[in-house]
Amino acid sequence: MKLVIATRRSRLALWQAEHVKSLLQKLGHEVGLLPLSTRGDELLDQRLDKVGGKGLFVKELENALADGRAQLAVHSMKDLPADLPPGFAIAAILEREDPRDAFVSSKFSSIKGMPEKAVIGTSSLRRAAQILERHPRLEARLLRGNVETRLAKLDRGEYDAVILAVAGLVRLGLASRIRSRLDPDESLPAPGQGALGIECLASRKDIADLLAPLADAAAATCVRAERAVSRAFGGSCTIPLGAFAELEGKQLRLRALVAAADGRRVARADVAGDATQPEALGELAAEDLRRQGALDILK
């Protein structure tokens, strides 16, 4: 059986799909790609939280799975809503790339070195809120488009710096653009950031079985905990929410936050528990955030 992978058309998405294709070919499978344009790729002048959130990047790919044009879809896990539509499943989460955020600038080596009113670009409410919490003198401004588009806008001087995912820059061979990698205490990553997931129809156990060799158990444990926090608060990118889990032996440590968009109010949780129960730990973190007024903050 020839496998067809549905993917977005951006250079990064195609890299991700080609990466999975090559892993499957090494296992002896015949694999092709089905590049598709998604609504999220087309609405480049609007904030995602205003036009429908993360689902804008996946609906067309899921349609291709549903009608049989493709058997797999490859996603960055941070782009996937926490709850998939009925009938779909994540069959494998791959080994994770560096999950941190990257500071990129031609003028400055760090956020701390930026002067008052300097403009920092990001498409993420989570990143903007954390920047403004620590550096209220800066201006966080919307920056949409693929990685190359964002870097081009930076290079044209439209922004003094931009924040991007380390993983995307590394995968595109652009790691040299990174001036600093932001520690999770400085910029808590999005749930699933740096991890690739492979989606298929929930009914296709045959597909799930052949993907099993690609799955990374440690990455899956961490991402499941992070996504459980997101799910507890609605599971979309319409809210400034970060979550980052790390395995420490048989224990799992999970840090999470929700913030007001302007960074003036932030609730943080830092919990640890049994690594075999990642969703329960995610719920524990979410409960801690609720106790600190997270729901009021998000209003």
Residues annotated as part of the active site: 79
Contact 260, 206 (CB under 8 A): no
Question: Which H or E run contains 3?
Answer: strand 2-8
Backbone phi and psi for residue 124, each to the nearest 5 degrees, phi listed first: -110, 125
Contact 104, 161 (CB under 8 A): yes
The closest alpha carbon to 222, from 202, 252, 248, belongs to: 252
* Secondary structure letter of residue 68 according to DSSP: T
Q: Is 65 helix (H, G, I), strand (E, B) or coil?
A: helix
Residue 182: CB atoms within 10 Å: 21
List CB contacts of 255: < 8 A, sequence separation 6 or more: 184, 188, 242, 243, 244, 245, 268, 269, 270, 285
Residue 75 identity: H
The closest alpha carbon to 189, from 159, 220, 226, belongs to: 226
> Within 13 Å of residue 148, how many CA atoms lie on the same side as its CB?
7
Q: Is 197 helix (H, G, I), strand (E, B) or coil?
A: strand
